[in-house]
Structure 1
Amino acid sequence: MKSFTQNIQVRWSDLDPNGHVRHSVYFDYGAQARIAYLQKQGLGIDWMHRKGIGPVLFREEAQFHRELNAGDQLIIDVQLSGLSNDHRKWSMRHRILRGEEICATLNLDGAWLDLKSRRIAPPPNELVERFEDLQQTEDFQIIAAQKKT
């Protein structure tokens, strides 16, 4: 399993009136790290458009542990915390670190959207392989299929 991290420096525009990072910026950091991972694998935005597939989020939550300030050098990791057997649905966790210190944890649930049918769909094999290759969290779980009602 491969570990992936993205380095980011806190910018002035990331700050709120109190001088620390706005809550919504943490989610932007996570999105940047996820897309950077896919881009590095050759599966970025252009590839997704050609394949007619894109990510969609169902849930995204943050736990804030430490204040971040302008100029802080951050590391955002990308870990897989869940995956359905058909690879349509996935869960991820990002830790936002300043050195060894965990400043925030992001947990999210998502799926792959067929851009033509606008339905959740299994991804192309290239994407399946890259997700299977991604580092898993210690509490990784298989996402069970939901019964249709």
Structure 2
Amino acid sequence: MLSYEIDPQLHLNGGYYIQYADHARYACVQAAGISVEELVGGGIGPVNLETVIKYHRELRGGDQVEVTCAWEWGDGKTYRVHHLLRRLDGTVAAEVSHVSGLLDLRTRRLVARPDREWRSRARQPELLGLPEGEAATS
């Protein structure tokens, strides 16, 4: 945590929880072998439609955290990504959950099956919770 991330009560400012989650999700996508730049260059962009933060324990200046990234797929236009922010001692400080989709940048509409779009680009789809070669059906 950096000093500018801290609010007057010496807590991590709420907006940074979202930034930490976004960074973890981006790193997960990159680890799966997907270039977000190429995705956007191809006319599709990831979007968050809803974000919820549940605070469990305060994070204060000097705390270090690990951020997990778990993907949940269905058969519609949206998917969920869940993040846990844990102190290094394992204490869960917060949960950040997103309802997300892939936006067709030409039509400004959500892509019908984002799981298929992500899978078609991923070298390691299992990092996104997508079994290799299978279509999501739940």
Q: TM-score, normalised by structure 1?
A: 0.74
Q: Find the residue that maps to 1:104 and give its secondary structure.
A: strand
Please list every run of at least 4 consecutive aligned residues from structure 1 whose deviation after the TM superposition is greater than 3 angstroms: 122-126, 129-132
What is aligned with 1:3? none
Q: Cα offset for 1:93?
A: 0.6
Aligned residue pairs total 127
Q: Percent identity?
A: 26
Q: Structure 2: any 5+ residue segments left out of the alignment?
A: 131-136
Matched, 1:38 2:36: no
Mark the CA change 1:135 to 1:127 in structure 2 (over 3 Å): closer, same or farther.
closer
Pick the aligned partner of 1:92 from 81, 100, 116: 81
Q: Residue in 2 aligned with 1:51?
A: 42
More strand, by proportion: 1
The residue correspondences of 1:1-149 to structure 2 (distance < 5 A) are 10-80=1-71, 82-85=72-75, 88-99=77-88, 100-121=90-111, 122-123=113-114, 125=116, 127-128=118-119, 130=122, 133=126, 134-135=128-129, 142=138
Closer/same/farther in 2, CA of residues 126 and 111 from structure 1, 3 Å limit: closer
Give the 3 Å change call, closer, same or farther, for CA 135–71 of structure 1 in structure 2.
Answer: farther
Where do 5+ consecutive residues of structure 1 fail to align? 1-9, 143-149
In structure 2, how many angstroms separate the alpha carbons of the residues matched to 1:72 and 1:92? 24
